[in-house]
Chain A
């Protein structure tokens, strides 16, 4: 099963915020984490993640810094700001509401 494009787009912000809530991360690692958690079913075009990260930074929900990896490669790490945690809480409430509503509708007697 492959997720529809619109749903992938809509879920990108809560997914990124949730991953950053686990700890600081960078673009490639975020994509790998999404693949790992979704069993490879959520597939982003890798380049699409960066406009999302930059938008989150513009909205002051995350901050970024360049660091060097052990291999000497420069990486741009993103971390959650307190405003980002608040936004994540709001996102959680909204997605939980949608999920519980759908779950009620899709219980066996409704199916």
Chain B
């Protein structure tokens, strides 16, 4: 049996490289392969012959992957909308910063820092908005495992984008601060908020590691990202008149409302799926 285990391990490795085949599907296919191998061995084949035959009957990785690809073609509407908003926000920010840079009001380093950090926070907000849409729709009907898997993949990619942008932005900001203010780090509330954002994004990506068991939990959890990014970005201005305090309006009530409404969405996300679905009267 050792040889068979080795053959199956190699087959699994090949299949894992194929796109659109998740680990749960792979478990299912492996189970199928093993059942078929057992049956063929019982019919008199050797282990190696049985494995080759079972593998041929199951089909190659590219063929199976292309069949699963067909299932993934229909993207959930909020994902499309959020992708569109993300692209527009990036363009708008790039144009605005290029104009300010061109007018000599921003240095290249500062413009890059602002661009990266703002996009990082915006991406965190977009992931959180996806989480709100997920919670909202789940109140009426549960998502299929296929849809949850695809959403988890989207939030995982966006989570990496947010973490990458915020981290690079923070480092650029430190380099700029050293040149302008003479120090890399000043323990300013906004700087701490930025670190808080990165810590949150790291936790979110870590949670994705276990997403095959708690995918719904991870999607609900993404709502909390709105609170972290909101406090780190806007809340810092209210708490401190420090180096980054350039906000003049007092929007503490608005921020408080945003925090509580996101908390409410998070709590609603813990309720069973379909709890708002109208019941049939028998």
- CB < 8 Å A-B pair total: 67
* Contact across chains for B144 and A58 when beta carbons are under 8 A apart: yes
Of A46-54, A90-98, A101-109, the segment with at least 4 beta carbons within 8 Å of chain B is: A46-54
Interface residue? A73 (CB, 8 A): yes
B57 contacts A73, CB within 8 Å? no
Interface centre among B25, B27, B34, B35 (most CB of A within 10 A): B35
Q: When the two chains form their complex, are residues A51 and B70 in contact, meaning their CB atoms are under 8 A apart?
A: yes
Interchain nearest-CB distance for B67 vs A (Å):
4
Across the interface, do A58 and B71 meet the contact criterion of CB distance under 8 Å? yes
Residue of B nearest to A52 (CB): B67
The answer for the CA separation of A48 and B57 in the assembled complex, in Å, is 10
Task: Say whether A60 faces chain B, with CB atoms less than 8 Å apart.
Answer: yes
Tell me, yes or no, whether B32 is within 8 Å of chain A by CB: yes
Whole-angstrom CA separation of A55 from B146 in the bound complex: 8
- In the complex, what distance in Å separates the CA atom of A13 from the CA atom of B68? 16
Whether A47 contacts B71 by the Cβ 8 Å rule is no
Q: Determine whether the beta carbon of B59 is less than 8 Å from that of A48.
A: yes
Distance between Cα atoms of A47 and B57 in the complex (Å): 8
A52 to chain B, nearest CB (A): 8
Contact A54 B32 (CB under 8 A): no
* Distance in Å: Cβ of A1 to nearest Cβ of chain B: 20
The reply to whether A64 and B67 contact each other, CB–CB distance below 8 Å, is: no
The CA of A64 and the CA of B63, in the complex, are separated in Å by 24
Interface residues of A in 34-63 (CB under 8 A from B): 45-48, 50-51, 54-55, 57-60
B57 contact set on A, CB distance < 8 A? 45-46
* A47 pairs with B31, CB closer than 8 A: no
Assess whether B145 is interfacial by the CB under 8 Å rule. Answer: yes
Most B C-beta atoms less than 10 A away, residue of A27, A54, A59: A54
6 A/B residue pairs, CB under 8 Å, sorted by A: A27-B28, A45-B57, A57-B146, A58-B71, A58-B147, A74-B27
Please list the residues of chain B having a beta carbon within 8 angstroms of any beta carbon in chain A: 25, 27-29, 31-32, 34-36, 57-59, 63-64, 67-68, 70-71, 144-147
